[in-house]
Structure 1
Amino acid sequence: MKRVIVIGLGIFGFNIAKELFENGFEVIAVDKNREAIQRIRDFATKAVLADGTDKEIMDLIGIQEEDLAIISFGEDLAASTLITLHLKQMGVKTIIVKAPSEDHALILERVGATEVIIPEKEVAAKLAKGLRSPNVLDYLPLSDDYMISEIAPPTSFLGKSIGELQLRGKYHIEVIAVRDILTDRISMVPAAGYVIKDGEALVVLGKDKDIEKIN
């Protein structure tokens, strides 16, 4: 399992470290706040009380190229930028940084962040998506147009086969999996004869505007 270094233990950093640790990752948590370190001790492989902007500290921790680094400093762009730059110089290939805005994200990408997360933007997009398309349970954007979405099938779909529904012809979408909501069992690439039942969710691939037409 890949080792993860989480630097900055605010709400976002604490929760991502805890979630990863509980899912079997080796987590090294770093923060200069003693209370933050006390809170994370039971949810990290190692909790380090240190200033993450200090390159010497990063060297002492022994960060390696294959490690995954997550930086979470909220509005402190200077700290996020400095740590990102240090990690890039150390050869770390995967650097994920939390940013408060698109402008901050652009700066962080310029200095070496491989991925920038803007939580407020992502939550807003997900909420708007849920309000606009209540049947969309979850989604993963693939490009500006295409996405993979998990949707609750409309009542009119129940008891019908995927072939009968002609989803490719009518909606220009592909059903790539079916998930049983109760058991979480997944049937990958279901055949045209697969009959959709109550309590199942469809995982579909298609354009955002086409998926929204399924109501």
Structure 2
Amino acid sequence: MKRSQYVVIGLGRFGSSLAKELINLGYEVLGIDKDEEAVDEMSDTLTHVVTADSTDEDVLRSLGIRNFDCAIVAIGDDIQASILTAILLKDIGVKTVVTKALSELHGKVLQKIGVDRVIFPERDMGIRVAHQLVSPNLLDYIELSNDYTIVELSVPKRLSGRCLKDLDPRAKYGCSVVAINKKHGVIIAPSAADMLEEQDVMVIIGTNDQIESFESEVINL
């Protein structure tokens, strides 16, 4: 089965980090930036790198952009270039276009022009860090929507030796433990009989209110 091919446009801190991780995951990545220095820095890391203006439709077509499965527009601070690039990518026929937004208004414009996914790295990271600061057992926090969230909670010492049935998060709080990350591996869709140990990590999905209640009444007692 053919592996997906990605193009990352904009090789600043966010774009280069994302492109490197895609390479680490085994995918082919074309990197594009108008800054020759940024391109040179990534030349030994990515599958291909090109110095080019992504707002030039002829240039994008000459690079065979429409053949890529996903294009990520990670342009740093030029909102006009970001929007124009996203429009061209959609017009050319790239299957999936993901674009970094610099503000809520920028994000709304991107959604209006039909971008498949808008990401707010700075905003989202700020939210995650804030949640981690106020909750000592919270290891990670991902907002799925305005209502639903996935969190990772470490198991405190006092819950070691208890099984999920004892906590009964679904019946009592409405949230679900979808995985338990243990030292020897990950248990996906754990059963009520699965035992918890100190420093296990529970992956929990639910509404913000459900998870907050479970965390305050069970984890952070």
TM-score range, shorter chain: over 0.9
Structure 2 letter corresponding to 1:186: V
Structure 2 letter corresponding to 1:55: E
Equivalent residue for 2:77, pick from 75, 78, 85: 75
Q: Which residue of 2 aligns with 1:203?
A: 203
Deviations 1:83-141 (A, max 9, x none): 11111111113111112100111112222311111222111110111123221212332
Counterpart-to-counterpart distance in 2, 1:154 and 1:171: 19
Structure 1 runs not aligned, ≥5 long = none
Counterpart-to-counterpart distance in 1, 2:118 and 2:210: 28
Counterpart-to-counterpart distance in 2, 1:95 and 1:151: 33
1:65 Cα deviation after fit: 5.5
Pairwise CA RMSD: 1.5
Structure 1 letter corresponding to 2:44: D
Residues paired across the two proteins, number: 213
Q: Which residue of 2 aligns with 1:37?
A: 39
Following superposition, which runs of at least 4 residues in structure 1 exceed 3 angstroms of deviation? none
1:171 Cα deviation after fit: 2.4
Counterpart-to-counterpart distance in 2, 1:179 and 1:190: 10
What aligned pairs does 1:126-165 form with structure 2 within 5 A after superposition?
A: 126-165=128-167
Q: 1:7 to 1:108 in 2, by over 3 A?
A: same
Counterpart-to-counterpart distance in 2, 1:156 and 1:167: 17
Counterpart-to-counterpart distance in 2, 1:37 and 1:143: 35
CA contact (8 A) 1:70 1:95 kept: yes
Secondary structure (helix, strand or coil) at the match of 2:44 reads helix
Q: Which residue of 1 aligns with 2:190?
A: 190
Q: Percent identity?
A: 38
- TM-score, normalization: structure 1? 0.93
- TM-score, normalization: structure 2? 0.90
CA contact (8 A) 1:157 1:165 kept: no
Deviations 1:127-168 (A, max 9, x none): 111123221212332322222221112333211011122222
**Is 1:52 aligned to residue 54 of structure 2?**
yes
1:20 Cα deviation after fit: 0.8
Secondary structure (helix, strand or coil) at the match of 1:36 reads helix
